[in-house]
Amino acid sequence: MRKFFAVLMLAGLSAVSVTNAIAGDSIKVKKTITINAPANEVWAKIGNFGDMSWHPAIAKTDITGGTNNKVGASRQLTLKGGGTINEVLTAHEDASKMMTYEITESVLPLREYSAKLVVKSAGDGKSLVIWTSKFKRKDPASTPQVGQDDKTAKDTITGIFTSGLDNLKKLSE
């Protein structure tokens, strides 16, 4: 009898740790693009936390707290298709052309979202823009609802990054 409970407990612990590992894993997205424009010019377009007009899905950007481009500043992005995304700036360095931010409230199917935008010189007057993020899907249940799974969350962010970077290239070249 004791052996039965030991096996049952071990099986239960294994199931719990597998479920937690699945529900707790972060999803990562990284997109890069080379732009035929100097890094300073590209950074001038995307380095302002209070202006995301370079992204085709954004209708309006409002600074809702703090001081623009200073750690702790918050912004609200109004999407062209409806809905809003609230974000807070966690790092901003003009010298290294880098900013990081977190989403605090969103219509997107995710949670615990953090992202980083970096512009680097790629030589010959070109720039390399790198946009990365790490997040979890919104519904942490082991069996997500349709449209709330990891693939949907990753595809959503990949689409946002791709359309933004493609438009930045178009505006910069």
Q: Residue 146 has what DSSP assignment?
A: T
Spatial neighbors of 65 by CB under 8 A, at least 6 apart, are: 72, 73, 74
pLDDT number for residue 110 = 82
Supply 55's token pair. 């992204």
| Residue 150 vs residue 9, higher pLDDT | 150
Is residue 72 in some structural domain? yes
The pTM score is 0.80
Find the CATH number of the domain harbouring 142: 3.30.530.20
Distance between CA atoms of residues 69 and 78, nearest Å: 19
Range of the domain at 105: 25-172
Range 116-122 average pLDDT: 97
- The whole-angstrom distance between residue 136's C-alpha and the CA centroid of its chain comes to 10
Does the pLDDT value for residue 168 go beyond 70? Answer: yes
CA separation for the pair 30, 44 (Å, rounded): 21
Judged against a pLDDT cut of 80, whether residue 9 lies above it is answered with no
Asked if residues 104 and 78 have their Cβ atoms less than 8 Å apart, the reply is no
Distances from the Cα of 1 to the Cα of 7, 8, 9, 15, 88, angstroms: 10, 11, 12, 21, 56
Choose among 123, 151, 125: nearest CA to 137: 151
Q: What percent of the chain has pLDDT over 90?
A: 68
* Better-predicted residue by pLDDT, 120 or 106: 120
Residue 54 falls within a domain, yes or no? yes
Residue 17 pLDDT class (50, 70, 90 cuts)? very low
* Domain presence at residue 74: yes
pLDDT greater than 60 at residue 128: yes
For the chain, the domain total comes to 1
Res 173: pLDDT: 96
Q: Is 166 among the domain residues? A: yes
d(CA 109, CA 106): 8
| C-beta of residue 60 within 8 angstroms of C-beta of residue 38 | no
Q: Is there a domain that residue 14 lies in?
A: no
Mean of per-residue pLDDT scores for the chain = 84
142 or 117: whose pLDDT is higher?
A: 117
Q: How confident is the model over 146-161, as a mean pLDDT?
A: 82
Residue 150: its pLDDT value, please? 79
